[in-house]
Amino acid sequence: MSLPKGAIPDPQSAIIVVPSSGAARQLRRSSGDRGQFATRDELYERLHERLANPPRRLTALERDVIAQAAARSVAGQSEPLSFQLRPGLVAEMLRFYDHLRRQSQQVNRFEELIEQALGSDEVDRGAARMRAQTAFLAGTFREYERRVGDSDGIDEHGLRDRLVSEAAVDPIRHVLVSVADWIGDPAGLSARLSDLLLHHNALLRGNRNLVASLNRFAHDLHAYLLTGTRVRSSANDADRSPAPAPLRSHLREVSVARREALQS
């Protein structure tokens, strides 16, 4: 498999998302080092390093330690559990939490949906036990989020929020996705990551449009100060409403004073 010529408009600023490191090595050999190849997890690293002040990312071991501490803290404050809290179980709870957040689900909404599905527990003791387990699970997730917030690092989900709220110093211009979504492949692109890439692309387009608008405004203002008349920079300007009267009067006075200064 090889990439066709022209598939990557700007190889230096393009990221090609591949399913595995082996696929990255194969494509790198066949494409002549055109573009940068990254797995889903490596894509987060590439986005992270382009932030102006990138925070430290928590390692998998650190996240597991925080989750274990959060689960035992909640277990000590709640009613006795109907199961033994083993380290392997907490690790699976953390995996489930990651899956929820990657699909744009919040802990509160997850708890609400489970409670609605269980209904009343006045008769069914199994539903009451399931409700207590759900409360423990949601409580553990909240305690985990609190402890991550108190730490000096962020996890994958905090990084996504940071990438949405902050502009990158050197943004990725092109992203080519060669993996399926999470429905077709458990290791594929999650819904939250897809939203992040779409938001990132829309933000770049918005920045370009804003800069272009500011450049047009600066050109029009400069021409108005020099000539005293408004210059239309494009055909679309004919549809624009005129400037307010106080602003036109002020600009006219500035233009007259500028011409008098140049003549003297």
Residue 236 confidence (pLDDT):
47
pLDDT single digits (tens) 117-129 = 877 656 577 778 8
Averaged pLDDT score across all residues of the chain: 75
Query: Of all residues in the chain, what percent carry a pLDDT higher than 90?
Result: 20
Residue 175 has pLDDT above 90, yes or no: no
Instruction: Report how far apart, in Å, the C-alpha atoms of 84 and of each of 81, 87, 89, 161 are.
Output: 7, 10, 9, 34
Query: Stretch 206-219: mean pLDDT, rounded?
Result: 58
Instruction: Give 240's pLDDT tier (boundaries 50, 70, 90).
Output: very low
Query: Stretch 20-38: mean pLDDT, rounded?
Result: 74
Residue 97 confidence (pLDDT):
93
Residue 93 has pLDDT above 50, yes or no: yes
Q: What is the pTM of this model?
A: 0.64
Q: Which of 12-16, 82-86, 234-238, 248-252 has the highest mean pLDDT?
A: 82-86
Residue 185 has pLDDT above 90, yes or no: no
User: Is the CB of residue 137 less than 8 Å from the CB of residue 93?
Assistant: yes
Instruction: Give 110's pLDDT tier (boundaries 50, 70, 90).
Output: confident
User: Is the CB of residue 189 less than 8 Å from the CB of residue 181?
Assistant: yes
Residue 22 confidence (pLDDT):
80
Instruction: Report how far apart, in Å, the C-alpha atoms of 226 and of each of 193, 197, 235 are.
Output: 50, 44, 21
Query: Stretch 173-182: mean pLDDT, rounded?
Result: 72
Identify which has the larger pLDDT, 127 or 216: 127
Residue 90 confidence (pLDDT):
94
Q: Where are the domains of the chain?
A: 11-56+161-189, 59-150, 212-263
User: Is the CB of residue 138 less than 8 Å from the CB of residue 106?
Assistant: no
Residue 133 has pLDDT above 70, yes or no: yes
Residue 256 has pLDDT above 80, yes or no: no
Provide the sign of the torsion angle of the four alpha carbons 83, 88, 90, 95, taken in this order.
negative
Identify which has the larger pLDDT, 213 or 136: 136
Q: Which residues of 112-140 are buried (b: 16+ CB within 10 A; e: fewer)?
A: eebbeeeeeeeeeeebeebbbebbbbbbb
Bridge partners, residue 16, by sequence: 37, 176
Map tokens 């939203």 to a residue.
Answer: 195
Residue 235 confidence (pLDDT):
42
Residue 81 confidence (pLDDT):
84
Provide the sign of the torsion angle of the four alpha carbons 121, 126, 129, 130, taken in this order.
negative
Query: Stretch 183-212: mean pLDDT, rounded?
Result: 62
Residue 249 has pLDDT above 80, yes or no: no
Residue 241 has pLDDT above 60, yes or no: no
